[in-house]
Amino acid sequence: MKVQVQLFGAFRDYAPAALVELELTEGACVADLRAAMNAYGTAHWPAFRPGLLQRSAFASETAVLREDDPLPTGGTLVILPPVAGG
């Protein structure tokens, strides 16, 4: 299945469109998405820092997802690098 991930913060520097599309197997979980994002970043973004991805979370519009959560079907998926509000 194809999954679109919206990018925020430092990830915007990697892709000006702030959106990537990844191919994942049916029933994939957040840990699978993280692995796919790592492979995509390594292949497409020369300045990609795997450490930033390791410290980033994934979320839907309503919740931060845990590693073993199944990917929600439909709706927006986003990557959240370490936050710095205020």
Partner 1 sequence: MSDSIWKLVDRSEAAIDPALALTFVSDPAFGGLCLFVGKVRESNLGKPVLGISYDVFAPLALNGFGQLVQQASAEFGPRIRVYLAHAHGRLAVGDVAVVVAVGTPHRDAAFKACRQIIEAVKHQSPIWKQEHYLDGDSEWSEGCSLCDTHTHDDAPH
| Shortest Å distance, C-beta 42 to partner 1 | 19
| Shortest Å distance, C-beta 73 to partner 1 | 17
Options 16, 26, 27, 54; binder of partner 1; rule CB under 8 A = 54
* φ/ψ (deg, to 5) at 84: -150, 65
Per the CB < 8 A criterion, the answer to whether 45 and 14 are in contact is: yes
Per the CB < 8 A criterion, the answer to whether 32 and 25 are in contact is: yes
| Shortest Å distance, C-beta 55 to partner 1 | 4
The distance of Cα 53 from the centroid of its chain, to the nearest Å, equals: 8
**Which span sits near partner 1 by CB under 8 A: 20-28, 40-48, 52-60?**
52-60
How many Å apart are CA 48 and CA 78, to the nearest integer? Answer: 17
Site for partner 1 in 66-85 (CB under 8 A): 66-67, 76, 78, 80-85
